[in-house]
Structure 1
Amino acid sequence: MHQLLKLGSTVHTVSGHACTIKDFIGGGGQGEVYRADLDGKELALKWYFSEQATPAQKINLEALIRAGAPSAQFLWPMDLVLDNYATASGFGYIMPLREPRFKGIVDLMKRRIEPSFYALSTASLQLAQAFLELHAKGLCYRDISFGNVFFDPNSGDIQICDNDNVAIDDGMAISGVLGTPRFIAPEIVRGAAVPSTQTDLFSLSVLLFYLLHIHHPLEGQREADIKCFDLPAMTQLYGINPLFIFDPTNKANYPVRGIHDNALEYWPMYPTFLRNRFIQAFTGGLHDPQARIRESEWRATLMQMRDSILYCGSCGAENFYDVEALRNNNGQPYPCWSCQRNLTLPFRLRVGREIVMLNHDTKLFPHHIDPQQRYDLSQSVAEMQQHPQQKNVWGLKNLSDAKWVVTMPDGVVRDVEPGRSVSLVSGVKIQFGHQEGEIRF
């Protein structure tokens, strides 16, 4: 890849700041990205190829800069950059620099990273939240794919890049980015629609399936039967005749053992409520944009998934609390997917309709105990704590600023001040202030 900008040269932002080019990071179909220094701060600078530096692209960038980032997860355009103070024959833009701790989904697919289910559920949850906030501003991303998303395999935090193609969701786009193959909604593949919020929802579901299964939701038997994977074949598979690999009523595209092993291994690991979301997304939602899973629905499901994680007492593998599976197995959880030994359910906290597994590393957040702070995961308000002398005794420690009122099974009521703990005893009720929880076993 040739370099459009000379290392060590200086360009200027529209707002008048000098920007020094330090290193070449990489290039793509639209231009090249550099590490740059602006007033002592390292940023990323994208510079367009001449054929991509169109007036329409510049107008769109200016609108995005005025609008501002929907959330901190977006590496959003901050300012336009010109090659010369006096002219605008070429241009680019500056944006926050991606932190080294963030890895691509390609790293996941190639097994260069091995994130936990907790990290994957957190990343998926943050993706749903991020695109909810983008769509709430009347914008559509147009190119949701694993090439534009990065996540921290330890924490699950995400960053979303390539935001210069985001556009107003007016349903009128007739040119520009249509998306990335395999992520594009079927109606766009067929030429029957243009990118919109509704097509973003399909792409988001594909991205979540990839993240959790390391596989595409439409690539099963039909994909294995293709001898020449050319454009007509892709149009059939992803646009004209798409079929979910786990469609419960049509097994014609079921995954093939030895080819699609990731899908076959991961699908049964997940709880029924998550699988049902994917079934809806890729059956009804495959053909009817109005039947697609909304970002808010994904957010609720992925939060439930994260809260339902439990550890195998034998091998330590993460499993999931699945109420429907319990009903189908005489009230007993299915064996651990990893070692096939019986699982022992931990103490659980029920708050409203939600159930949180009380593992050794569980933390509660404002989301869990205050209905007015839904999806606020900024700071933990409680955590599990082991008794210093009795190692088999655990409690839930109050990390909030308010006292809890606890009612024991025998009716005794006591306060749990900040910094103190309540022992895990089945039947204990905790009044958190805005909501009551009950510990169960």
Structure 2
Amino acid sequence: MVNGMLAPGQTLVTEEGERVKVAEMFGSGGQGEVYRVHTRKGDRALKWYYPQLADARQRQILDGLIGCSWSDDRFLWPQTVVVDPDGRHPGFGYLMNVRPDRFHDLPALFRREPELAATTQRTLIMAALHTVEAYRALHGKGIAYRDINWGNIFFDPRTGDVLVCDNDNAVFEGEDAGVTGTMDFMAPELVRGDHGGRPGIQTDLHSLAVLLFLLLMNHHPLEGALALRIRCMDEKARKKLYGTDPVFLYDPGDARNRPVPEEQQTVVATWNALPPLLRDLFVQTFTDGLRHPARRVREGQWRDALSEVLDTICLCASCGRQNLTEPEGPAPRCWGCGNRVDLPPRLQLTTGTATSRSRPRSLRLGPQARMYVHHLAVEAERHDFTAVVAEVTEHPRQRGRFGITNRSADRWTARRADGSVHEVDPGRTVALSTGLQLEFGGGAEAVVRD
């Protein structure tokens, strides 16, 4: 045995009868140890439970999750149970895919580690959006994660892609399980231990909002002046802060827990830079939602708001920093230099048919802005930022003159404000001008507005 319960070279067997060989140990956590193992289909990760936790209930949970046969690439989902055929190591573990090196944990972002220094406002919003969509998919299958926290989400700082780990504690809604969550992410009714309170999709919504606030604000939503007054952050103090007397930093009706500017400058600055569209959702979920679980913001609301903000990110002409704006909102002052941000024209887009029409959405047409396949769907299940259908490009010989280039495989129809009409073939560009109308096919059309 080397540095763990299992030894390199040891042979285990899956419930299908395949023999796998243990390699090095990746690390350990509260429930067990994780190893690399060699299988016929390539390397996998093995989570091996500590003996006292490898009980019948955990095995039942695993069997249920594996029985889903879910293959969503945003989750390191349990694939098969593994045991020691020789019986030297009682208990069991399970196989899952190995986490690719491009994914980093969120604490590394908050620690400002050098490899994440290039993370931008855009990739943070994309990571938040992907996180919301991942949990929306999980909840759509009737499964509650029950322990959403910043240690279970990994993200790619270049693309904003996310990976959800530690899925072996998820259960189908209504089922019992031992894990109730991590206290600073838990819903107040769970922290208090209310009669009838149990982890589920509604409590997941609180944990998800805490995670989003941490991701975008780099701060916990309930840790303001009240937290700074606590001399000893013991369990009693934590229960009061997160359960018996939780107060949102920016609760409009209760100012007791406002951030202390001298010591909590980051959250003050980031909150002021956040578009009202997102601020309003945080206020809802951390005021009414703290007291009434049914009023917590749903995944679809977060998805729509994050998507709208992502589409309207603008660069400051003075310092080049990315600024979050709103589709119909005024030009903000840059969070970096304080100058007013010049808003580029916007593309107002509608999709669908006469019987199923989307509400208009706006895309700011700054340099290199892009439109994707998901923009052409009435309601996309998942945002895909690899399928580009249009891109703002600069004229090769006339600096400062921009157009929209057709990156799709379909021909568009363009109608100018003067009434002229012409076709835009794939690879061709139409000059940007106010009033320009574009028809993309399939009922998707747009108009350029100031």
Please classify the TM superposition score into its range, dividing by the shorter chain length. over 0.9
After superposition, residues 351-370 of structure 1 pair within 5 angstroms as 351-352=349-350, 353-370=360-377
Tell me what 2:13 maps to: 12
Tell me what 2:333 maps to: 335
Mapped pair 1:421 → 2:423:
no
Tell me the SS of whatever aligns to 1:59.
helix
Count of equivalent residues: 433
Taking the aligned partners of 2:169 and 2:247, their CA distance within structure 1 comes to 29
Taking the aligned partners of 2:40 and 2:121, their CA distance within structure 1 comes to 40
Q: Contact 2:327–2:363 (CA<8 Å) still a contact in 1? A: no
Q: TM-score scaled by structure 2?
A: 0.93
Letter of the 1:347 counterpart: P
Deviation, 1:374, is: 5.7
Deviation, 1:84, is: 0.9
Deviation, 1:70, is: 6.4
Q: Contact 1:140–1:197 (CA<8 Å) still a contact in 2? A: yes
Taking the aligned partners of 1:148 and 1:58, their CA distance within structure 2 comes to 21
Tell me what 1:438 maps to: 447
Taking the aligned partners of 2:398 and 2:123, their CA distance within structure 1 comes to 31
Tell me what 1:187 maps to: 189
Tell me what 1:265 maps to: 269
Tell me what 2:112 maps to: 111
Tell me what 2:354 maps to: none
Q: CA-atom RMSD, angstroms? A: 1.7
The 3 A distance-change label for structure 1 pair 374 and 147 is: closer
Q: Contact 1:310–1:318 (CA<8 Å) still a contact in 2? A: yes
Mean alpha-carbon deviation: is it higher for 346-355 or for 315-324? Answer: 315-324
Letter of the 2:99 counterpart: R
After superposition, residues 22-421 of structure 1 pair within 5 angstroms as 22-39=23-40, 41-69=42-70, 71-84=72-85, 89-112=90-113, 113-114=116-117, 115-170=119-174, 172-173=175-176, 175-192=177-194, 193-322=197-326, 325-326=329-330, 333-352=331-350, 353-371=360-378, 373=380, 375-377=382-384, 378-421=386-429
Letter of the 1:51 counterpart: Q
Q: Contact 2:312–2:327 (CA<8 Å) still a contact in 1? A: no
The 3 A distance-change label for structure 1 pair 13 and 374 is: closer
Taking the aligned partners of 2:341 and 2:387, their CA distance within structure 1 comes to 30
Gap regions ≥5 residues in structure 1:
327-332
Taking the aligned partners of 1:323 and 1:405, their CA distance within structure 2 comes to 25
Taking the aligned partners of 1:404 and 1:387, their CA distance within structure 2 comes to 20
Letter of the 1:92 counterpart: G
Gap regions ≥5 residues in structure 2:
351-359
Q: Contact 1:70–1:133 (CA<8 Å) still a contact in 2? A: no
Taking the aligned partners of 2:219 and 2:266, their CA distance within structure 1 comes to 6
Taking the aligned partners of 1:240 and 1:334, their CA distance within structure 2 comes to 37
Taking the aligned partners of 1:405 and 1:323, their CA distance within structure 2 comes to 25
Deviation, 1:410, is: 0.2
Mean alpha-carbon deviation: is it higher for 228-237 or for 377-386? Answer: 377-386
Deviations 1:341-389 (A, max 9, x none): 2321112111132111112222111221232646442511111222221
Mean alpha-carbon deviation: is it higher for 252-261 or for 75-84? Answer: 252-261
Q: TM-score scaled by structure 1?
A: 0.95
Give the fraction of aligned pairs with identical amino acids, expressed as a percent.
39
The 3 A distance-change label for structure 1 pair 167 and 375 is: closer
Tell me the SS of whatever aligns to 2:267.
helix
Tell me the SS of whatever aligns to 1:205.
helix
Q: Contact 2:309–2:327 (CA<8 Å) still a contact in 1? A: no
Letter of the 1:426 counterpart: T
Taking the aligned partners of 2:35 and 2:307, their CA distance within structure 1 comes to 36
Deviation, 1:228, is: 1.4
Tell me the SS of whatever aligns to 2:199.
coil
Tell me the SS of whatever aligns to 1:42.
strand
Taking the aligned partners of 1:372 and 1:230, their CA distance within structure 2 comes to 46
The 3 A distance-change label for structure 1 pair 373 and 252 is: closer
Letter of the 1:19 counterpart: V
Deviation, 1:324, is: 6.6
